[in-house]
Structure 1
């Protein structure tokens, strides 16, 4: 999730504006109002790489046939065949996505051992040839979220997945589904948390755990913890996934040209149970696709589960700051950038702002420096909205 910066530090900015306090208050009000425990349609021109469904523990016949063309035997896959990362056969195209439920795979110890999904570069020149960038923000110390998390930030959770390098972790946010009010099964995260980008393919065993470690227990107190304790609202498997074609074609281990489009949406299904994700956690956030300029926004907040030192991925943190602009290239969209000390593992975590008195998701964590002083996230405009609309209503929740 990280990139690195070697350019000089900017002068420190003033205190976070009072609007940030309102951001937190609005978030709390948003998440405590409820109880607790076809074809994707978007194509390369629209910038959407929408998968076809791999629902439940099986797949529709058409998709199963397509996977057989790639030499994938589903029974063997669920019995451990997913561990074969032959680069020639790594499923890359949107229609090739497969993520059948393997019940019990994500147990407490496996979740705790998952490493952060990093995005790093050795240098980041934000000079005039790179486009428009504001001075590097001063670091903002990440604050731990209050517990229990479901009472203060219910839409936030962790995204787990397997990559050729091992088990990885990101963060994610429950978002509303316009086609299914009150019954959303959609999760917003980063593109690099679901797909490796150029030269790679879809990650495997992608799952979302809302309010992970709800009480913020320490590692010592979680020794021998049951899945129900560390994942009190269940484990939700991504039977559909979508990210931008810009990420699929231009994403890289350093973020690459795809960083400005480093976003994804998951449609999830519970490992057990039948209620929707939104009904289960009691909350979901609207998405702001207006892509406001950083100069128009008084404050943004980033939430997530940082896992790289000095954090261990067990607790939820947040940062509040006035956003600035970051350009990775003159032809690429400007990204948001805020001061924040969260590290890898917070990738994909939602960025929120208050619009007309309501908290809305406006971005997600994509890249940041190795020194953990700031985070950057994409602006969500028409291409992101089309990707979302293609997922909303395209699945058969009933």
Structure 2
């Protein structure tokens, strides 16, 4: 059972080094922000005659490509990511409820550890590892992500830089989500992206205040929806900067190896005058896009943040979730 120790957040303020992704498309105004949704594509290296787009994306990921994929934090520097003007509560606190799986029970891996497991937090089948191809540099990358309850039961949340390269970049290709990835084991299979959605402030300006994305995946080969198979987290917006959270992620840079789900628990804080939330987890590259969960019950919780940046002092940060995050969610929740 590989886990990081529980941490308690301090209010230290440190200059951040970010984590990112890609380019243009047709925008639609959503609440106080605008976002763009595009059909996910596969690279020419993934193209296979007679296969669906979902199969092409999935088949691209050989065990070797998955093993050698690079942590996506290196893309942030290339995007020239910047802090925006800052976000703050823009209305009353609102939430979307989580959903239990209906096809098969979510796995509680901690219960398989044996002996005293009181010191462990159960891994969640709603959380997984993301693999994608960046057409700008022709390299393969990894992030983290989490399934979110929605009308379609096909929605995933991750960082903006895990779907698009930001200013001057392009949309990522061959995008797949592997729930509860475990050193090559894929107990819930691979879920290929059908649509990618990112804020235009990220796409056009690499604005870290909008480093959030939504991904609609295809049903699996049996026609089942993702959330019905693994469960789905809820979503919270306009909550205070101070929240007890559990972060579940796949950090891949040392001292981690990206093979298994890690957790960090603590109380978030507002880092200085920034309108973000932060926690001193020390999570490294590969944890980009991981879900920050309120009220985690060892199966699912409420997404209250998405891993965006890290720095050498071990401070991880998320965009603050305001009304616009919920507005974009509402715009894609029923998309199939």
TM-score (norm 1): 0.61
Matched, 1:287 2:228: no
Residues 301 and 353, structure 1, Cα contact 8 Å, conserved in 2: yes
Task: Measure how far apart 1:386 and its partner are.
Answer: 1.3
For residues 320-371 of structure 1, what are the alpha-carbon distances to aligned partners after superposition, in whole Å with 9 as ceiling and x for unaligned? 12211136xx7xx601010112100000000011299x821100100010x2
Give the number of equivalent residue pairs: 274
Distance 1:312 1:355 in 2: 24
Comparing both structures, which one devotes a greater share of its residues to helix? 1
Comparing both structures, which one devotes a greater share of its residues to strand? 2
Q: What is residue 367 of structure 1 aligned with on the other side?
A: 309
Measured at CA, do residues 76 and 248 of structure 1 come closer, stay the same or move farther in structure 2, by a change above 3 Å? closer
Matches within 5 A, 1:45-124: 46-53=32-39, 78-79=46-47, 101-102=55-56, 103-118=58-73
Gaps of 5+ in 2: 1-6, 10-25, 88-108, 114-120
Residues 235 and 270, structure 1, Cα contact 8 Å, conserved in 2: no
Structure of larger gyration radius? 1
TM-score (norm 2): 0.71
Matched, 1:307 2:234: no
Gaps of 5+ in 1: 1-14, 18-39, 60-73, 81-98, 133-144, 223-229, 252-257
2:127 corresponds to which of 151, 156, 181: 156
Distance 1:116 1:240 in 2: 22
Matches within 5 A, 1:234-383: 234-251=189-206, 258-270=207-219, 272-281=221-230, 283-290=231-238, 292-295=239-242, 297=243, 299-326=244-271, 334-354=275-295, 359-369=301-311, 371=312, 373-383=314-324
For residues 27-80 of structure 1, what are the alpha-carbon distances to aligned partners after superposition, in whole Å with 9 as ceiling and x for unaligned? xxxxxxxxxxxxx983377523332445xxxx9xxxxxxxxxxxxxx8957438
Distance 2:314 2:301 in 1: 25
Matched, 1:146 2:110: yes
1:232 corresponds to which of 187, 195, 210: 187
Measured at CA, do residues 100 and 300 of structure 1 come closer, stay the same or move farther in structure 2, by a change above 3 Å? same
Task: Measure how far apart 1:204 and its partner are.
Answer: 0.8
For the aligned residues, what is the CA RMSD?
A: 3.5
1:194 corresponds to which of 158, 163, 176: 163
Task: Measure how far apart 1:273 and its partner are.
Answer: 2.5
